[in-house]
Structure 1
Amino acid sequence: MKEIKLQQGGTGECMEEATELAKLHNIALSKALQKLEIKLKGLKFSISNFQFLLSLRKEWTSLQNMEGKKACCGWDPYRGLLSCGGKRTIKEYELCSNVSKYVFFDSAHSTDKANQQMAELMWKGTGNVTGPYNLEALFGHNQE
């Protein structure tokens, strides 16, 4: 979303309208799945709160010394313009020297380290991260 905002002359911050639409979608999806769970006996599902996971980037930034405001690769002050490799309309790009220090590789993709941390939270996380089941419970790996 940062790329779109910058191209429209914005500051590079996330687009509020798109973020709100994503939140509304998640609420509607959760309600629809809960209704379906009543109709289809035995249905189990897991929904991960991606907005919450992304909000953890502030925590990762401070606890693990990871950069959470700008991407590893791209162009502009946040490296939010998707131009890595110079094969798009915008040829200029900057590339960080250590991708493991970043939450985002480019404006659209989290780094492997950030993805690993999010996957671990989805696997064992509690209700603020994933629910009504985390993935470990959904797939029955926590049973004796």
Structure 2
Amino acid sequence: MNMVMDSLVTVMMEIYKLAGRKFGIQDLLPLGCLPRFRGLALLKKGPHSDCLDELSSVVKKHNLALSRKIKQLKKELRGFEYSFFSIFDALKELYENPSTYGFKEAKAACCGFGPYRGFGSCGMAEAYELCENVKEHVIFDFYHPTGKAFHHFAQLWWQGNSNVVESQSLKSLLALLFA
């Protein structure tokens, strides 16, 4: 994890040296709860498991370390501004309350096969299932949210929803470019 953080900071510092001062940054998805890993958890631990907790734990540590690094850069670098979006928390909310946001299915993918349709990818395997209405699903395939879910995330980040956006909204950050 330290190597990943060091690499991210190195890249941001290179951008900063080239006069980059405004950064839009997002953390990692709750990987352990994506359909592929839900399916693996089911196969590994049985029907009472929901997510692959070991993976979710690593992702949470990464996301916390990333948030801390960004706050540290804000203190150390003159003019450094950022908008930090927690797609982890935003997607977790969709998993827990899908109907609140107009979704019917939050755990199973729209396209794939096996438990939670978490294996294979649309068109990449002969035996895959495709849902009837992709707009009812939070997740499209074994890994990717649907367009409707991404639209929801974009609105949250743009508006600066305080539950999932740290520092400032993306709209405010971009407005600083023209101030």
What is the TM-score with the length of structure 2 in the denominator? 0.68
Corresponding residue number in structure 2 for 1:125: 160
Q: Which runs of 4+ in 1 moved over 3 A?
A: 4-8
Q: Percent identity among equivalent residues?
A: 34
Q: Distance in 2 between matches of 1:70 and 1:28?
A: 29
- Asked whether 1:101 is paired with 2:136, we answer yes
Corresponding residue number in structure 1 for 2:83: 46
Corresponding residue number in structure 1 for 2:169: 134
Corresponding residue number in structure 1 for 2:118: 80
RMSD of aligned Cα (Å):
2.4
Q: Distance in 2 between matches of 1:5 and 1:126?
A: 28
Structure with the larger helix share: 2
Corresponding residue number in structure 1 for 2:25: none
5+ residue gaps, structure 1, are: none
Deviations 1:19-45 (Å, cap 9, x if unpaired)?
111111111111112121122111011
Letter paired with 1:13: D
Letter paired with 2:159: K
> How far is the alpha carbon of 1:62 from its aligned partner?
4.3
Query: Which of residues 52, 57, 79 in structure 2 aligns to 1:20?
Result: 57
Q: Distance in 2 between matches of 1:98 and 1:135?
A: 30
